[in-house]
Amino acid sequence: SYELTQPPSVSVSPGQTASITCSGDTLGDSDASWYQQKPGQSPVLVIYQDTKRPSGIPERFSGSNSGNTATLTISGTQPIDEADYYCQAWDSSGYVFGTGTRITVL
Amino acid sequence: EVQLVESGRGLVKPGESLTLSCAASGFTFRNYIMNWVRQAPGKGLEWVASISSSSSFIFYADSGRGRFTVSRDNADNSLYLHMNSLRVADTAVYYCARAMATAGTAFDYWGQGALVTVSS
């Protein structure tokens, strides 16, 4: 089955840039989405179709997708960005979520 | 305002059945692909099932295929997940989620989740 692999954790200082990778075979040929989930809350879509931000998502969130890797970048990371982040794509057998990355803002 | 509200949470024994419901409001439900996603305690997100707007296309993850049935009632703006032969490994919070109209691979609205606990 198709798998999307993310680093388990990323640490970043406030105001710095955080990047989370999502690796999967020919992922660049699919649309990648990214979700933010804070403890006890439902996921929130932050990036869709590789690079687009839904209404209400701050401009500091951006995405890219090429080859086998999609990347979520948070520029000027704020303490409120501390959360778990999941990538997602569609495979011929269904939707697939990445393994998840916890961003810690130190 | 788009709202998705799950119900039917509960504690069941292995082998038993349970049906979750999701009541949708604030959008034209019949026009959207709907989905179920679950999250086991302390674990990541796992897609469970999807159903097209007219129920013509239905997809299941391997974990639920043959045991779970997704359905919808467009007249009642409701989504359902009927789960048979439940296992301890099915213990999770189950979310209903709407697929975006313009980007069907992304889920733009999620419910608050319904906890299903399978334990003897």
Half-sphere exposure of B53 (CA within 13 A, CB side): 10
Q: What is the amino acid identity at position B105?
A: T
The pLDDT-based confidence of B10 (bands split at 50, 70, 90) is confident
Q: What token pair was written down for A38?
A: 């804070």
Model confidence pLDDT, tens digit, residues B52-81: 999 999 999 999 999 999 999 999 999 999
Q: Which two tokens stand for residue A71?
A: 């990347």
> Residue A25 carries which side chain, given as an amino acid letter?
D
Say whether B105 and A97 touch across the interface (CB within 8 A): no
A49, A96, A99 member nearest B47 (Cβ): A96
CA distance B48 to chain A (A): 9
When CB atoms are compared, the residue of B44, B61, B107 closest to A94 is B61
CB A6 within 8 A of CB A98: yes
Going by C-alpha positions, the residue among A87, A3, A100 that lies closest to residue B106 is A87
User: How many Å lie between the alpha carbon of B37 and the closest alpha carbon of chain A?
Assistant: 10
Per-residue pLDDT in tens (0 to 9) along chain A, 106 residues: 889 999 999 999 999 999 999 999 889 888 999 999 999 999 999 999 999 999 999 999 999 999 999 999 999 999 999 999 999 999 888 999 999 999 999 9
Asked if B33 contacts A67 with a C-beta cutoff of 8 angstroms, the reply is: no
Task: Using alpha carbons, select from B83, B109, B32, B74 the residue that is nearest to residue A48.
Answer: B109
Residue of B nearest to A30 (CA): B105
N-to-C CA span, chain A: 36
- All residues of chain B having their beta carbon less than 8 Å from the beta carbon of residue A33 are 103, 105-107
